[in-house]
Amino acid sequence: MPGDILLTVDKLNKSYGQLAVLKNVSFSLRRGERIALIGPSGSGKSTCLRAINFLDPPTSGEIRIDGRLIGQQPNGRRMTDAQLAPQRADIGMVFQHFHLWPHLNVRANVALQPRKVRGLPAAAATELAEELLAKVHLGHKAGEMPSRLSGGQQQRVAIARALAQRPKLLLFDEPTSALDPELVGEVLNVIKELASEGRSMVLVTHEIAFAREVADRILFMDGGRIVEEGPARRILDRPQEPRLRQFLSSLS
């Protein structure tokens, strides 16, 4: 149902040895909501996204999607990768670097997860891949190898690949920061189109104008904590915390 809670992040902590990288991070996301996560480099944004889908399991804390605990069995033990796989499929992740399979064409890159994890027959997976490539405006590139595509096109393939999981939630980690400036717009446009379809997303970005346009809510992280959060316009136009003010003025 639109508007109910999809994702809950509760008292997430993550340490690497002595270094505490996430400190009691808690927030929730409603179905259809778009949250932008902003903050200085090293503040823990990527670690937070990676913890949400247990790519990098948190040291403590809980993640729930639709009320279901991610990565932990009811007895508190960590799930095996096989147990985690269907849960991870609920969460589509798009990274700064696209990590497409270089030896597979674009269509096969997108069709791989549906075939391997969801067990879709080859023809159905191919059909799904072509539909999603058309959605990111790359229907005409389905037969190309990734190396023949621009960075912006490769990132759009990565987005189609994430969509092929039929995820409930999309996580974007600075999806445009590795791109040449002239390629940023085409990727942001695709993300905007997904946002306008009512998809739920958490988006780490330095593109503040984009965050203002797309995000319902902004969380500002610094030093592993959420220091301030609120509606996007309020956070950007009337920041309260000195660290947020300083961060925003460093960008302009």
Please give the residue ranges that form the binding site for ligand ADP (CB under 6 A). 16, 19, 21, 39, 41-47
CA distances from 244 to 20, 113, 185, 228 (A): 21, 39, 26, 8
Distance in Å, CB of 46 to Mg ion, minimum: 3
What, of ligand ADP, Mg ion, none, does residue 107 touch, CB below 5 to 8 Å by kind? none
Judged on CB neighbours under 10 Å (0-12, 13-18, 19+), 81 is exposed
Tell me the residue type at 187. Answer: V
Q: Which is nearer to ligand ADP, 134 or 251 (CB)?
A: 251
Q: Which is nearer to ligand ADP, 51 or 142 (CB)?
A: 51
Q: Which is nearer to ligand ADP, 15 or 87 (CB)?
A: 15
Distance in Å, CB of 131 to Mg ion, minimum: 31
3-state secondary structure of 19: strand
Answer yes or no whether residue 46 interacts with Mg ion by CB under 5 A. yes
Q: Specify whether the CB–CB gap between 200 and 33 falls below 8 A.
A: yes
Distance in Å, CB of 87 to ligand ADP, minimum: 21
36: tokens are 């932008």
Q: Which region among 20-28, 44-52, 70-78, 98-106 touches Mg ion (by CB under 5 A)?
A: 44-52
Answer yes or no whether residue 47 interacts with Mg ion by CB under 5 A. no
2: tokens are 């639109």
- Can you point out the beta strands (E) in 164-240? 169-173, 200-204, 217-222, 225-231
Q: Which is nearer to ligand ADP, 130 or 174 (CB)?
A: 174
Binding stretches for Mg ion (CB under 5 A): 46
